[in-house]
Structure 1
């Protein structure tokens, strides 16, 4: 069974282009299933009743619907691969139905709250402290581009095109894309490269654009902490991390008149349906304003 899991992991990484995070999550789901099935020696023991009983047990234990949906996807992907590679005679997971996840509207900043938070970060960087300069760049780039925190921390110095004001990055599924950023982010970037990065740079820095206090590539956890602290400076703002800034950037783009497919390309969404979630945010906000302002609402 360990050989099957190792081969499946290679398939996900090399053939499907899944991230290491996704591979770890899928393997964890499969190990949970195997433990439920009594650690069988043969894949044939993973019958449809066994799969359904495992999911039912997960649901009873209070696992979130989104997690159940991911675990169902992991099993379906595994059994389809096992059938295709001749490891089983049938694809038992093909008839496994994933619970529909509740799609909640993400919390976002109002434009004026975003301006206050970014202004606070800029003020903190005014003394040219290298960590403050880096933190200012973190929030400016996240909000300006809408990229994921992992994509941000993976950027190298050469991924930035200053002349065109764009960054080139590798997103989910190995998909490459180019994302523009504005003048405030460019100012923060030039200050960081001139006064911040040279101070923190060390033997382990390599080509990384953003560095931690010890000179290595910035850890996403440090970037998350920076965003939480920066957003907290805006009165009335929800507690948001990097993904909240991503939601805010997408919402503000759409409210400013951006085309949905352009936003899809900027965010690196594989399907338009994922991007359409942000139209729900803007419609809800429009309805709230209408209810407050229209005399016959």
Structure 2
């Protein structure tokens, strides 16, 4: 992935669940959008296609919550769980191939295997903020088979994303280095507004730990408010020379009374904020919760005018 940054910053895709919801597909179960890969494969492939058409150069597989233990715990057979993980890669690759065939585009397009945290295994809300403490081998047992299936199905790299727990990211990186020597990953943390991982680890400490690990190609943050990006980037840049990746949410505000999210006219778009992020040293930009192909299209128009600093 890093070699694609020689000329300009890189645009990755945006949210999957938001687009599936627009099509009437239920994404509110504990498996979120993952079941759509089995039940609505054409819809998932279509969303990936929309992001390529919008200008994204990286599609992230719909496997964020799809660890084998999580799928089996939700009632799937082991065979079906394995098939679903493989399907998430096949759908992204088919979207890439179809886009290339129809558009004639020759720009490099990558498939990143989405690897979410152990937090997604539990219904306990406290787990979503990194409030768990497994051993390194336990984390690795949890993640291993999903990574094996993603790699065998042909992902170009892994996306270790929305990671709230420092020890878990150490376990993932050790697993990557020991069992997937031909693969790389980006590592993206989930942080609070004080600049700490949700388990309390300072962001600077977590980032600096991975500086000497070459298979971690890029490092950054995702699933946070756009307004928080600059502060996090300033922290990250002080302790790493790796490319910095950010993919925030769309800036929506949650209304507790209506239980809905909304974006008002005063909410800045990702594209309007992107020049500041690029100037601050960001090399890879995309979107997380609530972001759409339109958001990525606007981002791509900004990024494509920018050369790497």
Report the TM range for the smaller structure's normalisation.
under 0.3
Relative to the length of structure 2, the TM-score reads: 0.24
Q: Larger RCO: Structure 1 or Structure 2 (Cα < 8 Å, ≥ 6 residues apart)?
A: 2
Relative to the length of structure 1, the TM-score reads: 0.25
Higher strand fraction: Structure 1 or Structure 2? 2
Structure number with bigger Rg:
1
